[in-house]
């Protein structure tokens, strides 16, 4: 007997199903501990981890009008993944940049397609 397993590129938890044996003439389930078995499909897809390229402080020069923050997908790139992001002030001290004054507040969703790493 051969059972085809359908593979895809999306991460998902391991999945299980049963295979049951039946009497060929009566179509009744055979009895006994060895007439039914559980099959686990082990997912082999690696969606990876999302991280900033720069792990320390990113320095932005005030005269520049835009700052590019690079996001990486490391240790795998199977399937489509999405992450939400948002800019926010560190705290309320005088040495903290203020949204609307020192930078424009942004939020959104980044989507990485299958195989996309940055």
10/47 Cα distance (integer angstroms): 7
Q: Give 9-58 pLDDT, tens digit per residue.
A: 777 888 999 999 999 999 999 999 899 999 999 887 788 899 999 988 99
Cα–Cα distances in angstroms (integers) from residue 73 to residues 8, 83, 85, 111, in the given order:
19, 11, 15, 11
Tokens read off for 33: 């501990």
pTM of the model: 0.64
Q: Give 81-114 pLDDT, tens digit per residue.
A: 999 999 999 888 888 999 999 999 999 999 999 8
């Amino acid at each position: 007997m051969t059972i085809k397993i359908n593979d895809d590129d999306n991460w998902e938890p391991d999945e299980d199903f049963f295979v049951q044996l039946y009497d060929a003439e009566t179509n009744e389930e055979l009895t006994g501990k060895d007439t039914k078995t559980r099959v686990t499909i082990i997912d082999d897809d690696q969606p990876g981890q999302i991280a900033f390229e720069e792990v320390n402080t990113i320095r932005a020069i005030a005269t520049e009008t835009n700052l590019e923050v690079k996001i990486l997908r490391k240790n795998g790139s199977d399937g489509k993944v999405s992450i939400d992001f948002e800019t926010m002030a560190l705290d309320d001290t005088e040495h903290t940049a203020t949204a609307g004054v020192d930078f424009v507040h942004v939020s959104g969703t980044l989507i990485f397609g299958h195989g996309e790493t940055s």
